[in-house]
């Protein structure tokens, strides 16, 4: 394991990767499945790519719904996979965050900051989304949701009250079926492909870039003219993720781009 840790020191998220590696080592020694706290999508993908090929164990991840970004990860011994369904649910709880935001709508990040100030640690929180002007909902660890249950706080100047819920009782973000399609464009600019892929206007795509809602390979991007290539993925808050599968030149010297919408 020490040699593995040295090899992964170049990880883009070394602290998070070390925590997952330590979890793996404990799981191997105790022969007990262990769920991590919530990890980001980039860290999860990196873990699957770099750690999973190692012999003796496998990873399962779950964030509460199909298109969730932040997941808890389960390390299990490979020999136990046959006895442990890969669809196993992580220990999760829902959180309803009520407040009157009719005249002062807040952002998901502002809700997160407020909840952190109320005592929950960032790694105990999964996805969080707005519910119109009535507040927000989130997925947490059961311990985190219990800690915030019936607690009150402030987001901007609005009082909020938290209530622990079953995940099944939440108004989960719209679930999207994976769909592959093609579009013909004059360029592979991120605003053009976001417009075609998410079904929004070009102006709206530009606005989302400027507001930091559009991310390229999980990183916020400020260049609406950024050209994309095969393998790139763009994520739009509330709309899902699009992956560029291939780019080909048509007979009329335009670009046929194949996209995968998740």
- What residue has token string 């009520």? 98
Helix (H, G, I), strand (E, B) or coil at 188: coil
What pLDDT is recorded for position 4? Answer: 56
CA triplet 13, 59, 124: central angle to 5 degrees?
A: 55
DSSP one-letter code for 169: G
User: Has this prediction a pTM greater than 0.85?
Assistant: no
Cβ atoms within 10 Å, residue 32: 12
* Residues 37, 73: Cα–Cα separation, whole Å: 7
What pLDDT is recorded for position 59? Answer: 79
Q: What residue spans of the chain are helical by DSSP H?
A: 2-7, 14-30, 41-50, 108-117, 142-148, 190-198, 202-210
> Backbone dihedral region of 222: left (phi > 0), alpha (psi from -120 to 50 degrees) or beta?
alpha
What pLDDT is recorded for position 56? Answer: 67
- Each residue's pLDDT, cut to its tens digit, for the chain (262 residues) gives 555 555 566 666 778 888 888 887 787 788 777 899 999 888 888 888 776 666 667 778 899 988 888 999 987 776 666 554 445 678 999 999 999 998 778 989 999 999 999 999 999 999 999 998 999 999 999 999 999 999 999 999 899 999 999 999 999 987 667 889 999 999 999 999 999 999 899 999 999 888 888 889 888 888 889 999 999 999 887 778 899 999 999 998 999 999 998 8
* Residues 151, 162: Cα–Cα separation, whole Å: 6
Residue among 133, 232, 247, 134 nearest 186 (CA)? 247
Structure tokens at 178: 């994976």
> Backbone dihedral region of 26: left (phi > 0), alpha (psi from -120 to 50 degrees) or beta?
alpha
């Amino acid at each position: 394991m020490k040699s593995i840790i040295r090899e992964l020191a170049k990880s883009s998220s070394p602290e998070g990767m070390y925590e997952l590696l330590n979890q793996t080592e404990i799981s191997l020694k105790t022969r007990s499945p262990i769920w991590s706290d919530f990890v980001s999508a980039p860290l999860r993908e990196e873990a699957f790519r770099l750690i999973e090929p190692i012999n003796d164990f496998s990873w399962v991840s779950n964030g509460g719904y199909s298109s969730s970004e932040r997941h808890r990860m389960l390390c299990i011994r490979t020999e136990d996979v046959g006895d442990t369904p890969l669809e196993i649910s992580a220990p999760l709880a829902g959180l309803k965050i009520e407040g009157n935001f009719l005249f002062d709508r807040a952002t998901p990040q502002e809700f997160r900051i407020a909840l952190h100030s109320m005592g929950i640690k960032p790694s105990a929180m999964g996805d969080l989304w707005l519910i119109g002007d009535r507040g927000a909902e989130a997925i947490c660890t059961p311990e985190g949701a219990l800690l915030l249950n019936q607690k009150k706080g402030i987001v901007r100047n609005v009082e909020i009250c938290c209530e622990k819920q079953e995940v099944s009782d939440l108004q989960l973000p719209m679930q999207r079926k994976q769909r592959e399609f093609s579009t013909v464009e004059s360029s592979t600019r991120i605003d053009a492909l976001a417009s075609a892929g998410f079904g929004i206007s070009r102006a709206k795509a530009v606005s989302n870039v400027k507001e930091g809602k559009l991310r390229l390979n999980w990183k916020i991007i400020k260049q609406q003219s950024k050209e994309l290539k095969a393998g790139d993925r763009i994520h739009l808050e509330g709309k899902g993720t699009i992956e560029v599968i291939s780019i080909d030149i048509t007979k009329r010297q335009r670009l046929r781009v194949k996209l995968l919408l998740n």
